[in-house]
Amino acid sequence: MNVLKKLEIPFKGLLIGEHEYDFTISDSFFEAIEYSDIKHGDLSVHINLDKQSGMIVLNFSIQGAVTLPCDRCLEDFSFPIDAHEMLIVKFGPERLEESDEVIILPETDHSLQLWSFIYEYISLQIPYRKVHPDDENGNSTCNQEFIEKIEQISKSNHSDPRWDALKDINFD
């Protein structure tokens, strides 16, 4: 069975009230998503579904860690994820996304695919700049050997002879 298909909740036939769902997200989840920036992770997802007469309110709680490459030293590190999100599902004539928290599903739908919301909530927790966290003394935990190599290369002033002639151009 497809990993993403397992993250589907059939809501037709559910009684009005609260329902609890738990899912485990692993590497196979991220591999199943074609353009995923995340390749490895181990997370647990708890969903509290509150079915009401005209809508469904889903509260997501996602905890765990994903493995990310460090932007500074390129070595992988574990990044903690702790997300709490809410999604409101209303019903109408056609599929529509009213806002980030509210979607409208056709009244003919009988289940809700959650994988895209879960992936989005995880992705939103990842910072733009991904670097190893500092240790308790405030020192970087990046691979120091690699950082030193980068510093050596940046200190050596290698000039490209093709561009040397442009250094003498006078623009005045």
Reduce the DSSP state of residue 166 to 3 states and report it.
helix
Q: What is the pLDDT of residue 29?
A: 94
Q: What is the pLDDT of residue 122?
A: 96
Going from N- to C-terminal start, the domains of the chain cover: 5-168
Structural contact between residues 44 and 63, judged by C-beta atoms closer than 8 angstroms: yes
Q: Please name the residue ranges forming H helices in 12-160.
A: 27-32, 115-124, 144-155
Q: Is 158 left (phi over 0), alpha (psi -120 to 50) or beta?
A: beta
pLDDT exceeds cutoff 80 at 154: no
Where residue 157 falls among pLDDT bands split at 50, 70, 90?
Answer: low
Mean pLDDT of the chain: 87
pLDDT exceeds cutoff 60 at 57: yes
Task: Return the H-helix or E-strand segment holding 91.
Answer: strand 76-92
First to last CA, the chain: 70
Q: What is the pLDDT of residue 162?
A: 77
